Structure 1
């Protein structure tokens, strides 16, 4: 009888953990969709709302490492000064993986369709739950 009781408790715990993971993954995927929509609307400020607004945000790109939300925003605005250069963003999420109760990693491919020439690459994002919100704390895009 004890074994059945403990198996029942374990089953409930696993079911709740699975449900939480599924919910968190859905929230992360929705935030990435919000980013795509903001980009395609030409709104870099709104696009950046998914990032951690901290000097500790890390962005790794072809020019090296940038630290800080404000500097990352400035670099985006400098590199993509208008909607012609921004183009239309699309991406394919290849993997969303829970690393712990506080972290998820996301790997994907991005593509910009532009009249000035298409661009494409890959990204790895590290999401962290901060103040009950999932935010990107590290972005490695190439």
Structure 2
């Protein structure tokens, strides 16, 4: 009986540790994606930056002018608003909160700042919803102000 109890306790601990390890791996993958987006933006590559978004007509982006739906529409809006390196500036993300909603969804709150010597700095906050789609974490909803 004592052996069975020890086995059950060890199994529960292993199960809890396994879930914690997966959560850490998912969080690291999401943070890595955001770091890559920051680097791609700072390299002036909007197309590579957009690889972090879900390539779907169902992608939702909400900005100052209201919602935009679809990956292509979101890309075109970025290109209109940030037509050159001076407008793009240097991007810095600051993560304020990273929470799992379930095993395939995360919620991220953060700050963004563009340093733009020629055009003036701008910044704000964002709320992102990530989904694990085909084994890859992608932004499915972005509300940026």
Give the alignment's TM-score, normalised by structure 2: 0.96
Candidates 108, 125, 134, aligned match of 1:131: 134
- The aligned counterpart of 1:96 is 98
Residues 1:41 and 2:43 aligned together: yes
| Cα RMSD after superposing both structures | 0.7
Candidates 49, 58, 61, aligned match of 2:60: 58
* Alignment partners' CA distance in 2, 1:107 and 1:3: 42
Describe the SS at the equivalent of 2:54: coil
* Alignment partners' CA distance in 1, 2:115 and 2:67: 26
**Higher Cα Rg, which structure:** 2
How many Å apart are 1:52 and its aligned residue?
A: 0.2
- The aligned counterpart of 1:105 is 107
Q: How many residues align?
A: 142
- The aligned counterpart of 2:88 is 86
How many Å apart are 1:3 and its aligned residue?
A: 2.8
How many Å apart are 1:4 and its aligned residue?
A: 2.4
Deviations 1:43-80 (A, max 9, x none): 10000000000000000110000110000000000110
How many Å apart are 1:5 and its aligned residue?
A: 2.0
How many Å apart are 1:133 and its aligned residue?
A: 0.2
* Alignment partners' CA distance in 2, 1:18 and 1:104: 15
Runs of at least 5 residues in structure 2 that lack an aligned partner in the other structure:
none
